[in-house]
Structure 1
Amino acid sequence: MAVKLDVAVAPLGRDRVFKGCSLVTCDEKVFSDASTLAREFAAVKNDVAGRVMPVVTAVCAGNAGDDGTYRYFMGDEVEKRGGNKGLEELLVPAGTLVAVVPVKFHMEASAALRAAQVRQAFYDGWLPGSCYECASDELGFADVELYHYRKRRFRRAKKMVLNLMFVLREKTGA
């Protein structure tokens, strides 16, 4: 099934700062470590001060090192850097060129699968045909999953929203 992408590329107008926790993992352990990381973040989530409202939670896998391990981060967006002692920080600085792609899904249970499909369509389809390239070497990661909830119109329920934010730069010599 072809995935249709709605890609918006622009430099960030402000720092995006996330506070939370991380662990070191590898591709063989990432699925079991994801639940461990979620539990660890749930234990410290109430300690995050200065959250941006509505709450936006970031999940990000860093670039793999020579040994195949990488930092796997989960945290909530905060107003500014600093504070929140004991928590780790993920920063996407103002001016960073990013592509934001909404991930559409019908049930929360299918969100991870749809995110993987959108990520693959972006890297294998959209990116090679664009005037951009991945800039993962600049920040130590290629993309960030951004989760938040919106109130549904005319309903009391909330709907989870997922966007992927890809770190880019313009291609040189193209």
Structure 2
Amino acid sequence: MPEQKTLARARADKRAGKSASTQAGEFVREEIERVRAGKHGVRSTKQAIAIGLSEARRAGVDLKAPAKSKASEATRKKAKQDSAAAGKNPSKTEGKKRATDSASTARRSRAATAALKRESTAGASGAALSKQAKSAAARRPAASRSAAAKKAAQTKGAAGRSAAAKKAAKTRAARATHGHR
């Protein structure tokens, strides 16, 4: 269950007219923080991202299921289930549930949580996130990356661009003195 502050940040992003993926980013960030805090682990950075996206869909973020060419049928089905679960009140769904349903659901939930607790927290490390971001970017065409960079520079504003340029120059200078490439 996402924290109230995460839901509030996602709602603020929506009001500001930001994209669904930006809104979902709040949930992914929260999931990464949960792993870092040791609440549970993950097998990989991708798993932490997938959990965050699932939470986002269930919270009502209008994220589309991935395209057929991009993900397995099971992943697409799960995404559709999560989107369908958004805004549903469990107490009002199709009459009464059988007792065995809720018992097996609770048992499955506990098993999933126990399995996650046994996993490592390395998937949420800075190095793992950096590696994931770089490999994700590498899968996109150069034109797409360039367009994203141009849009980011545009939305930053003059003061933001100036600050970023100063920071970049400072970083380059620091790396030059410490023998980095």
Determine which structure has more spread, i.e. the larger CA radius of gyration.
2
TM-score, scaled relative to structure 1: 0.24
Q: Which has the higher helix share?
A: 2
The two structures have a TM-score, normalised by structure 2, of 0.24
Comparing both chains, which one has the higher relative contact order based on Cα–Cα distances under 8 Å and sequence gaps of 6 or more?
Answer: 1
